[in-house]
């Protein structure tokens, strides 16, 4: 589902609302780590961070210098921190598929 700007609202407020909602959802998903569904939560959180970065890139020309220089690198670091966990689960899933193929 795409993001929607509310009619009659300032674009800056709407972008802020969208980004904050995505951050909130990503944060709440990451609290599920340790649950059986945590692997999916990490994937979803990484996807949300990518969406946030895309929105920020769209509005970058009108952002204050402070946000232009600091927000995207911080989000990139968050995504990189989550990558090994997500990649590790991918390796485990692949090995499980191979094991099922090998066992008659």
* Assessment of whether the complete model's pTM goes beyond 0.75: no
8 Å CB contact between 4 and 13? no
pLDDT at 70 over 60: yes
Alpha carbons 17 and 69: distance in angstroms, whole number: 20
User: What is the per-residue pLDDT across 80-90, written as a single tens digit (0 to 9) for each?
Assistant: 888 877 677 67
pLDDT over 60 at 36, yes or no? no
- Please tell me the distance from the alpha carbon of residue 70 to that of residue 97, in angstroms, as a whole number: 41
Contact in structure between 86 and 42 (CB atoms under 8 Å): yes
Lowest mean pLDDT among 18-22, 85-89, 100-104: 85-89
């Amino acid at each position: 589902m795409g993001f929607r700007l509310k009619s009659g609202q300032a674009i800056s407020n709407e972008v802020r609302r969208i980004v904050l909602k995505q951050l909130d959802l990503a944060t709440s998903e990451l609290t599920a780590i340790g649950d059986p569904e945590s692997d999916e939560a990490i994937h979803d959180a990484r996807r949300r961070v990518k969406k946030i970065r895309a929105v920020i890139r769209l509005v970058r020309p009108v952002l204050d210098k402070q946000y232009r220089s600091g927000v995207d690198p911080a989000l990139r670091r968050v995504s990189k921190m989550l990558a090994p966990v997500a990649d590790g689960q991918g390796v485990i899933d692949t090995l499980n598929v191979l094991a099922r193929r090998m066992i008659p």
